[in-house]
Amino acid sequence: MDDIRKRSKDTQCVHASLMEDANGAVVPPIYQTSTFKFRNADHGAALFAGREKGYIYTRMGNPTVEGVEKAVAVLEGGYAGIGCGSGMAALHLAFASILRAGDHVVCSESVYGPVVGLLNVQFSNFDIDVSFVDTSDLEAVKAAMTPKTKLVHVETPGNPTLVITDLAAMAKIAHEGGAKMTVDNTFMSPVLQRPLEHGADMVIHSMTKFLNGHADVVAGMVVVKDEDAYRLVRGMSNAFGGTIDPFNSFLVARGIKTLAIRVQRHNESGKKVAAFLDTHPKVESVMYPGLESHPGHDVHAKQADGPGGLISFELTGGLEAGKVLMDSVKLCVLAVSLGGVETLIQHPAAMTHASMGPEGRRQAGITDGLVRISVGIEDVGEIIADLEQGLEKV
């Protein structure tokens, strides 16, 4: 294969994790080994000293893990990827590599609930301050920046309210203030959005979602844009030890081969489900960047190649109506997580964002009645019919 980085996303998805194999295996084998044998004592010493390239110990590097790290780095247009045991481990690794005691963080208020706790509780133990702001409001971001701000962290579309942040404008504010910008690209996947192209310094994924796509792995990735950042983050990863294992790497690399066609389907079906909900009399409001009524519609269209498969909506009957709907669906699965082949429905206030508490949710615009749906790749007519029969019971 010639330069994979010059290929289209469809081709990269299929080929980016492939590597030369001594036996000609088309699919990279699973190196289910914790350690690697040295040829002799000098060889082992040379590997440890970095004088020779090769594998030592799986926490530090493993061929199967490298396959998925390379695939995500290629897809995001980054220098390298560092595989992690979960999306939360990837967020922790990225933040810890940038922050030092006394620093301040500006973070989107619309983020996966436990990220609020990670910064507010765990990182605050290390004397790090955080301000959660509506990052769709650039003036609010500028106002929140202080001389101590070293990190601006963005989720766009944000979980679960689908708030859109202008990535290029945000990177400019962060860099002018002397801060790095990290972007959690889990909701979009690199098929729809590549934050490094818009000025981000690092990209984070929960590979549990679209990248793996089959709801059978928990894993994460940090993508960096240069050698210096790679050395820093890889060193931290070796020290913290929250790495991905070979078998999960194999599964995610397999999932990535169909990422482009899956995302295309999530995207097309997402638009249809959002349009259905938007005109339904029992639906009060729909949050989906593909709808022209979404305040971030134009910014999203400028920086991403599609609105994706995540939709949040509120019923006119509020919380009680939402519960009836969630208890009435027959095809959609009542479960947290997202980005898998199956349609999932869940209640952010009581589930994914429960840990934020009522005040945190109020600030982030997560109402008690909000319902979030991750549109899967089933027959979209059947997904809509299922929601329709559920809404009839409301």
DSSP states of 108-164 = ESSS-HHHHHIIIIIGGGGT-EEEEE-TT-HHHHHHH--TTEEEEEEESSPTTT---
CB nearer ligand LCS, residue 118 or residue 383: 118
The answer to whether residue 88 forms part of the interface with ligand LCS (CB under 6 A) is: yes
Q: From 65-73, 164-172, 180-188, 288-296, give the range in contact with ligand LCS by CB under 6 A.
A: 180-188
For residues 190 and 76, the answer to whether their CB atoms sit within 8 Å is yes
- The distance of closest approach from Cβ of residue 392 to ligand LCS in the complex, given in angstroms and rounded to an integer, is 27
Say whether 112 is catalytic. yes
Position 161 contacts ligand LCS (CB under 6 A): no
Applying CB under 6 A, among 69, 76, 103, 155 the residue interacting with ligand LCS is 155
Q: Which of 7, 57, 59, 148 is flagged as catalytic?
A: 59
The sheet carrying 333-334 orders its strands as 283-287, 310-315, 370-374, 344-346, 333-334
Contacts with ligand LCS by CB under 6 A: the residue count is 17
With respect to ligand LCS, which residue has the nearer C-beta, 86 or 149?
Answer: 86
**Residue number with the shortest CB distance to ligand LCS?**
87
Quick check: 194 and 77 in contact, CB under 8 A? yes
Choose which of 213, 220, 296, 340 interacts with ligand LCS (CB under 6 A): 220
Q: Which of 258, 276, 152, 151 lies closest to 214 in space, CA to CA?
A: 258
212 touches ligand LCS (CB under 6 A): no
348-354 contacts, C-beta under 8 A, 24 or more apart:
348/113, 348/160, 348/312, 348/372, 349/319, 352/112, 352/113, 352/159, 352/160, 353/112, 353/113, 353/160, 354/113
Instruction: Answer yes or no whether residue 87 interacts with ligand LCS by CB under 6 A.
Output: yes
Closest distance of CB 314 from ligand LCS, Å: 17
Residue 189 or 208 with smaller CB distance to ligand LCS:
208
Distance CA 222, CA 89 (A): 9
The answer to whether 159 contacts ligand LCS (rule: CB under 6 A) is yes
In the range 351-380, which residues lie near ligand LCS by CB under 6 A? Answer: 352
Q: Does 95 bind ligand LCS (CB under 6 A)?
A: no
Among 110, 186, 237, 248, binds ligand LCS (CB under 6 A): 186
User: Does 206 interact with ligand LCS (rule: CB under 6 A)?
Assistant: yes
59 catalytic? Reply is: yes
Residue 112 sits in the site that holds ligand LCS (CB under 6 A):
yes
Residue 156 binds ligand LCS, judged by CB under 6 A: no
3-state secondary structure of 307: coil
> Which of 300, 340, 278 is CA-nearest to residue 163?
300
- Report the 10 Å Cβ neighbour count for 178: 11
**Cα(290)–Cα(350) distance, integer angstroms:** 26
Q: Exposed, middle or buried: residue 176 (CB in 10 Å: 0-12, 13-18, 19+)?
A: exposed
The residue within the footprint of ligand LCS, chosen from 66, 109, 134, 184 (CB under 6 A), is 184
Considering the complex, what minimum distance in angstroms separates the CB of residue 95 from ligand LCS?
Answer: 12
SS3 content of the chain, % helix, strand, coil (to 5): 45, 15, 40
Check binding of 245 to ligand LCS (CB under 6 A).
no
| Gyration radius of the chain's alpha carbons | 21
Measured from the CB atom, is 215 or 277 closer to ligand LCS? 215
**Least distance to ligand LCS from the beta carbon of 321, Å?**
22
- 47 or 105: CB nearest ligand LCS: 105
Report the sign of the C-alpha dihedral through residues 233, 234, 240, 245, in that order: positive
265 is catalytic: no
b/e code 282-310 from CB counts within 10 Å (16+ = b): ebeebbbbbbeebebbebbbebbebbbbb
| Catalytic residue list contains 57 | no
The reply on whether position 33 binds ligand LCS by CB under 6 A is: no
Does 237 bind ligand LCS (CB under 6 A)? Our answer is no
Residues with a catalytic annotation lie at 59, 112, 184, 209
Which residues are near ligand LCS by CB under 6 A? 86-88, 112, 155, 159, 184, 186-187, 206, 208, 218, 220, 336-338, 352
